[in-house]
Structure 1
Amino acid sequence: MRIGIIHNNEADSLRVFRDLKPLLKKKGGIEIVERDPELVISIGGDGTLLSAFHRYSHQLDRIRFLGVHTGHLGFYTDWRDYELPELVDSLCNDNKNSVNYPLLDVIVNFSDGKSQHFLALNESTIRKGTRTMVCDVYIKDELFERFRGDGLAMSTPTGSTAHNKSVGGAVVHPSINAMQLAEIASLNNRVFRTLGSPSILGPDDWVEIKVKSAGQHLVTIDQLDISGQDIASIQYRIATEKIQFAAYRHMHFWRRVKEAFIRED
């Protein structure tokens, strides 16, 4: 098995990386590589796994991911830093099973006619600094509403527990092939109206946000930022690609939600 390892530079993550490498090398049939891995092990938190995802997003059809967390429990990490021997034993008994999560397909269009294409594991947002953002929201090429407010967030099911949840969005199980559009501090009064609640869209839907306010806007795709360019519109749909997590010991989603938001230590 060809294994790639991505880690952050925190002391605990570096320690786990140093401990994991010799354990893997002792096992036959495992090769640690940087290019064309079959399995990518992320050591750190969810941010580290997001970085690993974007690094290998062009190879999703042949790569599985696995997360080792070195802090508190993360949404994308199934193993803890003190479980390395058990992890390596699981790798040696690989059954090739995986758990798939939906992704977001994002196309950012600029005023000069150019565009950029991205995949998002968590979410994408658009904002306009300290000024009110104005944009038209189209669903399936039909005008749905004119939005005025701080911004809009489009999330995947796994990303529904992040920024989406903080602005009142629903938590969506990743077995549901959907994306969710949530408003960030919308203006709603007798003059300006929006739906005022999150919208969950299916695999046959697509959304285009056409910018109407002047000046610079900030677009995020997971931890990536796009600013300093004239953004004309953003197109969202559920991606045909999916991320695959190795299912050696995959924690089910609602347990992750409980661990993150409900359980008291």
Structure 2
Amino acid sequence: MGISIISNATKHSLKKKRELEDLIRKKGLTLSEKNPDIVISIGGDGTLLAAFHRYVHQLNTIRFIGIHTGHLGFYTDWRDYELEELVDSLAADVDNSSVSYPLLDVQVNYTDQRESKHFLALNECTIRRVTGTMVGNVFIKGELFENFRGDGLSVSTPTGSTAYNKSIGGAVIHPQINALQLAEIASINNRVYRTLGSPLIIASNEWISIQLESHNDHVLSVDQLILSEENIKQIDYKIADERIHFASHRHTNFWSRVKDGFIEGTELKDELM
């Protein structure tokens, strides 16, 4: 078993990374940055997102584990004081057990001769207009659904439903449901222009296309990646063929994560700097 460890830049997380590396070596396990079987992130959800995109071309052979160092995260099942227990569980892992969740497939097409771009997102992809109202036709499974006017649109995965999607009024979806969610960002609704004004849950055999009326000054975000794009003609979204796999030595109940994160608010110490 090869293990790669990715940490954020805080002193505390870097210290825990060194401790984890020592424990892994002592247990006779192998550290492998190039071709790992397990990728462990130390930090928060942002660190796991960075790890995901670093190994996005190896998703079929990798399982992820998240360790949080100060703040409860939706992708982190282990605390920083449980390193020995984590390494013991890795050493005893003989069946490569995992749980997998859907990803978002994004294809960006342009009006000029540029080749289309392809991305995978763990959380969401948003499209916005920089200097004015974004105008675009929204198609679902190839049929026109609405003409959108507003700040932008966000398409999210179930695991991403608790991130930016939730802050703009989207629904929280259990990550074992194969679905996409389309949420509006400050849509314009009056006697002249109308949109549904509610989040849409898109089934696994459907897809979303957004055809933009203006082809300049858009900002496209794919998880943490932000791109200023010109000449975008259309963006297509669907559930990806690939999935993310989490090692299931311990996997916290999703609704417990939601309750702790948004309702009860587990008290945790701030990260040590």
Determine if the TM-score, normalized by the shorter chain, exceeds 0.5: yes
2:200 match? 199
Q: Name the amino acid aligned to 1:14.
A: L
Q: Check whether the contact 1:153–1:164 (CA below 8 A) recurs between aligned residues.
A: yes
Residues 1:241 and 2:238 are matched in the alignment: no
Q: Shift of the alpha carbon at 1:130? A: 4.3
SS in 2 for 1:102: strand
Q: Name the amino acid aligned to 2:244.
A: I
Q: Distance in 2 between matches of 1:229 and 1:115?
A: 13
TM-score by length of 1: 0.97
2:130 match? 129
Q: Check whether the contact 1:126–1:220 (CA below 8 A) recurs between aligned residues.
A: yes
Q: Shift of the alpha carbon at 1:85? A: 0.6
1:101 match? 101
Q: Check whether the contact 2:215–2:232 (CA below 8 A) recurs between aligned residues.
A: no
Q: Shift of the alpha carbon at 1:77? A: 0.3
Q: Distance in 1 between matches of 2:215 and 2:20?
A: 51
Q: Check whether the contact 1:68–1:78 (CA below 8 A) recurs between aligned residues.
A: yes
Output aligned runs, 1:26-37, within 5 Å.
26-28=26-28, 30-37=29-36
2:118 match? 117
Output aligned runs, 1:114-263, within 5 Å.
114-263=115-264
Structure 1 segments of 4+ aligned residues over 6 angstroms from their partners? none
Q: Name the amino acid aligned to 1:13.
A: S
* Matched residues, number: 264
SS in 2 for 1:96: coil
Q: Check whether the contact 2:63–2:98 (CA below 8 A) recurs between aligned residues.
A: yes
1:51 match? 50
Query: Percent of pairs identical after alignment?
Result: 62
**Unpaired runs of at least 5, structure 1:** none
Q: Distance in 2 between matches of 1:194 and 1:213?
A: 18
**Unpaired runs of at least 5, structure 2:** 268-273
What RMSD in Å do the two structures reach over aligned CA positions?
1.0
1:77 match? 76
Q: Check whether the contact 1:216–1:231 (CA below 8 A) recurs between aligned residues.
A: no
String of CA shifts for 1:200-232, please: whole Å, max 9, x gaps: 001110111011035310010000111143221
Q: Shift of the alpha carbon at 1:8? A: 1.2
Q: Shift of the alpha carbon at 1:129? A: 2.0
